[in-house]
């Protein structure tokens, strides 16, 4: 599968091919979110360059775009310096592992990716006078004492725990982006992403939706950490990518990050039960100790995104779980149709969604 992706060396051949098209650089372009963003930008008429070191990104995520003449994939780690003559108009920085098992596997490189990688991309934006987007995270709020979390909340974070390489790396990146904006006048856009799920997540991703679906499809115990009363708000990937594009295209640069996520809140136990129902699985739900610094509540205040971007999620959890489970069903090769059931709990919850 990887052979169909044109992986090029990073050199001066990356100059613009079509003067009438904007060129977008997507760092982390082979990842879960990055590949969906590349696909959307191509559909919107951009030339797209995907940068990825392929530590967690997969070439198969880009296979459908590989033969598009407007698409180029380059193997490169943004921790390493980018060439000065790299020609781009817009930059999206999605280059960082986002699931705890992956970002904790090499915490120092994770932090370097957020900090040194951001500096390298910001320097490129400064040289090219390019607009630049940073994928930040709801993890910057830590284990929040304010609920739901508005953009003005400074968070309740542990600076030296096992999750800190990611949380603090993203907080540092936000600082760098706004300092570059104030110092050099760069047009920066920052999105704080809340729990997102959908096709192209890895089976070993380690995040709750993919974990539960894969465990259910394999007939294994579904592992709930802690009591399961902790909450999350789940946003389908297509909705999130729409938020990225709207944030990048709003005429005036904003002077603060913007929350992007679903404002409908579920407990982890509710999600586990829904996945069991939906996949018609015989898996048992079992409990394990809660990891260090795992947030008890997570729900975005998206009033700003609604008002200024005209954005809010459209895909219900029922629809999103159907599409995600179908993806994993095909990926895992189970060869049996899903016996989908719409839970009464889910129907009630989504009927009251804003």
Closest CA to 327 of 224, 220, 197, 193: 197
- Quick check: 246 and 300 in contact, CB under 8 A? no
82 token code pair = 């980018």
**DSSP structural state of residue 22:** -
> Which residue is associated with the tokens 């930040």?
136
Distance, CA of 192 to CA of 33 (rounded, Å): 14
- Quick check: 47 and 24 in contact, CB under 8 A? yes
Among 92, 103, 141, 166, the one annotated catalytic: 166
Active-site residue 166, yes or no?
A: yes
What is the length of the chain?
A: 354
- Quick check: 325 and 278 in contact, CB under 8 A? yes
Compute the chain's Rg from CA coordinates.
20
Distance, CA of 75 to CA of 28 (rounded, Å): 10
Angle, CA of 190, 144 and 162, to the nearest 5°: 80
**DSSP structural state of residue 243:** H
C-alpha dist (Å) from residue 75 to 30, 79, 282 = 10, 12, 42
Distance, CA of 30 to CA of 26 (rounded, Å): 9
**Active site (catalytic) residues:** 166
């Amino acid at each position: 599968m990887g052979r169909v992706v044109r992986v090029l060396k990073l050199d001066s051949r990356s100059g613009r091919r079509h003067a009438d098209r904007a060129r977008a650089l997507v760092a982390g372009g082979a990842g879960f979110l990055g590949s969906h963003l590349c696909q959307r930008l191509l559909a919107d008429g951009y030339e797209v360059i995907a940068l990825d070191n392929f530590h967690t990104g997969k070439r198969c995520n880009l296979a459908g775009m590989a033969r598009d003449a407007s698409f180029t994939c380059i193997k490169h780690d943004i921790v390493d310096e980018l060439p000065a003559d790299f020609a781009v108009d817009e930059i999206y920085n999605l280059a960082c592992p986002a699931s705890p098992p992956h970002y904790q596997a090499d915490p120092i490189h994770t932090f370097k990716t957020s900090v040194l990688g951001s500096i390298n991309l910001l320097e490129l934006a400064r040289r090219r006078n390019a607009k630049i987007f940073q994928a930040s995270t709801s993890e910057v709020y830590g284990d929040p004492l304010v609920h739901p979390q508005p953009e003005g909340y400074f968070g309740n974070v542990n600076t030296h725990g096992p999750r800190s390489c990611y949380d603090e790396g993203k907080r540092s990146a936000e600082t760098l982006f706004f300092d570059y904006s104030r110092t050099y006048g760069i047009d920066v856009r920052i999105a704080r992403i809340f729990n997102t799920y959908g096709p192209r997540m890895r089976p070993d991703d380690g995040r709750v939706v993919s974990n539960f679906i894969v465990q259910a499809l394999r007939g294994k115990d579904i592992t709930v950490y802690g009591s399961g009363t902790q909450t999350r708000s789940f946003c389908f990937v297509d909705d999130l990518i729409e938020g990225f594009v709207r944030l990048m295209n709003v005429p005036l640069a904003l002077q603060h990050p913007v929350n992007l996520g679903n404002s409908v809140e579920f407990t982890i136990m509710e999600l586990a039960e829904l996945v069991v129902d939906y996949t018609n699985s015989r898996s048992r739900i079992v409990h394990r100790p809660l990891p260090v610094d795992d947030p008890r509540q997570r729900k975005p205040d998206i009033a700003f995104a609604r008002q200024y971007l005209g954005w809010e999620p459209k895909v219900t959890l029922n629809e999103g779980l159907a599409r995600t489970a179908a993806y994993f069903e095909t990926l895992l090769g189970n060869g049996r149709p899903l016996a989908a059931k719409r839970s009464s709990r889910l129907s009630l919850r989504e009927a009251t969604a804003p």
